[in-house]
Structure 1
């Protein structure tokens, strides 16, 4: 931690809290403007804690926004999300428009890093609306830059180009050379995607940026421009100039030890050399890019050089190696998709907790105004909205496993009938009727490749399938609602077996909650009678016979007895 920050830390307790926090916020602002410094996150967290401890709500918002920004820069997106979400709750009834704008912008950036692109776009849109309302030109330009990068990530290159042009105009009006140069470099990358390589506008913009770079010592932008130069020259049939630009970018990135830019430059050189017919040299650079992206743990960045390596190996007629890399590419793609699905579940769980926190804050405000009736109505509205969201997610998971989403509803209705005949109180039966619909919500995290596989699953694939119980329970965890708590229990235990051979925890007999035992039998019966990619639909009699055969093994004998009675009597 730098000297000025340490001095402030030591002075805490010797200065009035409001004055200390104000000085700390100014020190943090200067620290951020100079770049990331050692100890800046710890100092920002200390500032927020001090503001919270002394009930300095407006200063706490600024401190939390600063903390969230620094955590994001330090590659701690979930911690950043926590800090920024706390600030968001405090800002809900605040007039701090500039801090609201910063908060939405930072939240957009966090969601973008986490791969939740719709959330990112929604937060950027709100931030941009507020910045325009506040006539904050600088903030507008920064948000537009972020939105352009997001659109580029979504492969919406024309929209991204239109957006970054708006940002460019603002930086020109503000006469900010550094930000204008950075924006123009990004813009040229988009123009290479959208414009013909012979377009005179593209050449003019590149010339302008090189002029700016002659006046500024920005090595990152210089390397990026050399990469753009290499791509442009190969497209305009100037291979020698393309290779020269690529090699210069490589030398600069190596000299300055900028590993990620070096890896990307190896990839660009690989493409350039392959286009010029130098397949062996191209292969060498692409393989270096793959090694470096692996070391950096840039999973998604690996996809492109792996695809190019497959193409180069085919050119060299090394088909067996090409097949090996193609299989690696396929496996990596599946891992990325699975990780993305899991991450979306984690974000959903986080958002639910945030909504609960916002709800609790709102309830506290309402209670202080003695509006208890409104409290009850608001609680019911939130629970209903959350349940509807979860049901939609459960149906989405079911649609991925079958041709219809009715399975979840049938399981809920039949589970309620069984529970009623087992003597469960009617109020709890009605809760079960809804909670049972969420039993397979965790399947949203399972790859389509596994869910739709027509043949027998491998041991590894079966292990992945089994994880849907844990994923579903995690999504539904830590709820206050009785319904969601029961749904969590069912999601976790509906694949446990009466004889203890089930999963995920190998529970036995009455160790398994009754709700889980009921849904286990009802779910299997309905699944047997439904067509799946890997099986034909069974008749009712055949399915009931299988359920009866599994009494005392897979299923609770009492549940089986009631289920058979209901079906054979025509009650259900």
Structure 2
């Protein structure tokens, strides 16, 4: 219990540090969140692991990695779905909804976000309820259900009122103004737009330019062209003021103003001005890969060039509009399919895990009835599980036996008690048992792994400890220790915890050598079998870096004793 409390405090610190760095240094935040997940999983801290997964999902989404964001958020949900309502569950559901929304899976997006708001309210937290409502309103807006969108935006305003979230108020009022303007309700659009601009000037300066552009279009709707021109001039003056102060303008903000200027000029019959503004907008959209905006701009330019009598250029933009529309539609369809596939894979994985749990429970119960000795029946069960992990990777149990035998011999060579060495022989056979939980598409991948896939493979050390530490005998505690630490390096550059020197468990330091040697000297589908001297020299070359020097010396002595033709002095 004390260790779990210590681990919980460590995880909490890692998560807090990750959250603090997410906006300024996302790569550092990702590393901290990954570390938090590793420790949380090893300690059985489901809530903290789910929070780490949500943070990782948010970082992935921030960098456009929607597949990974969806998968991690879904995994976070699966960890805490049956627990008490939590902010982690609420925001994970919200993120899944946002990814569905971006893939135009509006029904699924709405379902997830409605569930998110229900969970969020159950937590008793209030400060960010308006943010989730804003997403729900945006989904209604995209579905063309403007009445529900307006009602939901207004609910968000009412909820934000006592909380003082004026930044969210500015954003919500701006969206309400936009909907009113698109429906031809220009007077309410002007009123809401002016309020939104006033709030944004004080509480959300980055929204001012876009809100002024929307307000300008609303003024044109009531034929107040002078006020519209003033709005555009103010938007540009705001740009100059902020850039002079060192602020960086978001491309979306600049694009919104340029496109609005083009639309207003087009509606006012100022064709040359419209073409100039829209051409500048198209250049910016192309440079920043904002394809949805490009689509709209090509449509407006086709209309502008047609009105100018420049039919060849009008046709060119119309053709580019159609081509881009097909490209976006294809990409959106692919994203919809991928999100649905990830959702299916996660559901399937949960079902398989439950089946495995039930089967394992039944298996262990059967062994318990047949064996009086706890180590005996647990060892038989876990060795079968370890064998399954080896068979899935294209290996046989020869590797696990070889690692166990060599580890025991090294233990004897350094003078460890015989009973400890024999215990290590059995424990070391289970060093890779955690691989049974690694996905087939990663474990069996024929080519090189991506960084994300390698991160998954690294989890086998954590999962191994978690599986084995559930049995409280000396044998299984030693096995858990070896599984947890056999990929740590003597110089501190290994995983999962970057331990170094004698802080690495002795069992892990020994099994590390035995595992590498046996892997090299065993033929695999993807590699040849190394000859004996070549494999021994490779291990010896890792002395002081990957392996403890004294243990490498003991290993060489064992290998010379096994094979008298080897000369110890030639192995280094």
| Common topology (TM > 0.5) | yes
Instruction: Judge conservation of contact 1:185–1:221 (CA < 8 Å) in 2.
Output: no
1: distance between equivalents of 2:239 and 2:198? 21
Q: CA deviation at 1:324?
A: 1.5
| Bigger CA radius of gyration | 2
The 1-side partners of 2:86 and 2:201 are apart by: 39
Query: How big is the shift at 1:195?
Result: 5.5
Preserved contact between residue 285 and residue 293 of structure 2 (Cα < 8 Å): yes
| Residue 144 of structure 1 pairs with residue 133 of structure 2 | yes
| Cα distance between partner residues in 2 of 1:190 and 1:157 | 7
Distance 1:96 1:63, change over 3 A: farther
Q: Which residue of 1 aligns with 2:180?
A: 191
Cα deviation, residue 310, structure 1: 0.9
Corresponding position of 1:55: 44
Superposition deviation, residue 101 in structure 1: 1.7
Please give the alpha-carbon distance, in whole angstroms, between the structure 1 residues aligned to 2:327 and 2:210: 29
Where does residue 311 of structure 2 map in the other structure?
319
Residue aligning to 1:212: 199
Structure 1: stretches of 5+ with no match in the other structure: 1-12, 373-476, 480-572
Contact 1:230-1:241 at 8 Å conserved across structures: yes
**Alignment match of 1:24 (pick from 14, 24, 29):** 14
Partner of 1:80: 69
**In structure 2, C-alpha distance between the alignment counterparts of 1:98 and 1:325, rounded to whole Å:** 47
How far is 1:286 from its partner? Answer: 0.7
Q: Which runs of 5+ in 2 are unaligned?
A: 365-439, 443-572
Cα distance per residue 1:315-339 (max 9 Å; x no partner): 1011121111111111111111222
**Partner in structure 1 of residue 350 of structure 2:** 358
Distance (Å, rounded) in 1 between the aligned partners of 2:104 and 2:293: 14
Name the structure 1 match of 2:262: 270
Query: Per-residue deviation at 1:87?
Result: 0.9
Structure 1 length normalisation: TM-score? Answer: 0.58
Change beyond 3 A, Cα 1:312–1:204: closer
Query: Is residue 2:157 matched to residue 1:171?
Result: no
For 1:402-451, what per-residue CA distance to the aligned partner results, in whole angstroms no more than 9, with x for missing partners? xxxxxxxxxxxxxxxxxxxxxxxxxxxxxxxxxxxxxxxxxxxxxxxxxx
The answer (yes or no) to whether the contact 1:226–1:246 under 8 Å persists in 2 is yes
Aligned-pair distance for 1:364? 3.4
Contact 1:239 1:272 in 2 (8 A): no
The residue number in structure 2 matching 1:240 is 226
**CA apart distance, 1:17:** 2.3
Shift in Å, 1:164: 0.8
| CA deviation vs aligned residue, 1:463-507 (integer Å, no higher than 9, x gap) | xxxxxxxxxxxxxx979xxxxxxxxxxxxxxxxxxxxxxxxxxxx
Tell me what 1:160 maps to: 149
Distance 2:81 2:128 in 1: 20
Alignment partners' CA distance in 2, 1:186 and 1:356 = 39
Shift of 1:244: 3.1
Instruction: Give the Cα separation in 1 of the matches to 2:280 and 2:124.
Output: 47
Match in the other structure for 1:309: 301
Deviations 1:67-122 (Å, cap 9, x if unpaired)?
21232223222221121122122123322433322221121122223333222111
Distance in 1, Cα, partners of 2:197 & 2:81 = 45
What is the aligned counterpart of 1:341 among 323, 333, 343?
333
By relative contact order (CA 8 Å, sep 6+), the higher-ranking structure is: 2
- Seen in structure 2, the aligned counterparts of structure 1 residues 212 and 328 have a Cα distance that, compared at 3 Å, is closer
Following superposition, the deviation at residue 253 of structure 1 comes to 4.3
Give the Cα–Cα distance (whole angstroms) in 2 for the partners of residues 366 and 125 of structure 1: 33
Of 77, 82, 86, which residue of structure 2 is paired with 1:93? Answer: 82
Distance 1:371 1:178 in 2: 58
The answer on 1:330 being equivalent to 2:322 is yes
Mapped contact 2:100–2:106 kept (Cα < 8 A): yes
Secondary structure class of the residue paired with 1:137: coil
- CA distance in 2: counterparts of 1:36 and 1:181, whole angstroms: 28
Aligned-pair CA distance for 1:228: 1.6
1:237 and 1:316 mapped to 2: Cα distance?
23
**Cα gap change, 1:251 to 1:305, in 2 (>3 Å):** farther
Residues 71/326 of structure 1: CA separation in 2 closer, same or farther (3 Å cut): same
Q: Is the 8 A contact 2:18 2:29 kept in 1?
A: yes
Q: What per-residue deviation string (whole Å, max 9, x for no partner) do you get for residues 205-258 of structure 1?
A: 334334434533x32221122112211111111223213322432454474432
Could you tell me how far apart the structure 1 residues matched to 2:194 and 2:26 are?
Answer: 35
Q: Please, what is the CA RMSD of the aligned residues?
A: 2.8
Count of aligned positions: 358
